[in-house]
Amino acid sequence: MRSQSQSPTRVLGIDPGLTRMGMGVVEGSIGRPLSLVDVNVIRTTSALPVWERLVTIERGVEAWIDEHRPDAVAIERMFARSDVSTIMGTAQAAGVAMVVAARRGIPVAMHTPSEVKAAVSGNGRADKAQVGLMVTRILRLDAMPKPADAADALALAITHIWRGGAQNRLEAAVAAQALKAGTR
């Protein structure tokens, strides 16, 4: 794994979905300009049974991880919606992505939509257009990534680079302190 102080961190952001799964890879570190590595969506058709769609998603996530070799995977944390069928498919797709990363020993982080919105726009209630505009500015892109799932995946990767590093350092410090306390 690349160290943030020595070289940029590469993060695969995933905006989970059963029909469209946003995938975005960003590289960078805190205090330095971030750069876009790749962005796209994995698509499945509702004409297929769910389990076949999940296999398509699994293969797509595997291909992205094999091609881009991320240091971490950042996935949108699910929250309750009124449409249970939508949340189920989204949760299933997110679970597949978590398993693919875990099998390869890649750390997985979950970020809430409001956390991502706050990180990239300064407003936890920003709409999709505001998030897309800020992703475009932060990554110095000529055009906003489309569809919105792609922009959301990039926002997740940006959030993880900006916030995940600090969270990882806090968790490491707590673990070191616990280990030190246990050896006395």
Instruction: Point out the residues that are catalytic.
Output: 15, 76, 149
Q: Which residue has the tokens 């030190």?
A: 180
| One-letter amino acid of 48 | L
52 is in an annotated binding site: no
Please, how many CA atoms are within 13 Å of residue 161, restricted to the half-sphere of its CB? 33
CB atoms within 10 A of CB 5: 8
Nearest to 90 by CA among 174, 22, 171: 22
Residue 71 marked in a binding site: no
Q: Which of 9, 5, 27, 13 is nearest to 108 (CA)?
A: 13
At 9, which helix (H) or strand (E)?
Answer: strand 9-15
Is-contact 12 71, C-beta < 8 A? no
**Sheet of strand 20-28, all strands in order from the earlier edge strand to the far edge:** 35-43, 20-28, 9-15, 72-76, 108-111
In whole angstroms, give the CA distance from residue 89 to residue 21: 11
149 labelled binding-site residue: yes
Annotated binding site: 15, 76, 149
Binding-site sequence positions for Mg(2+): 15, 76, 149
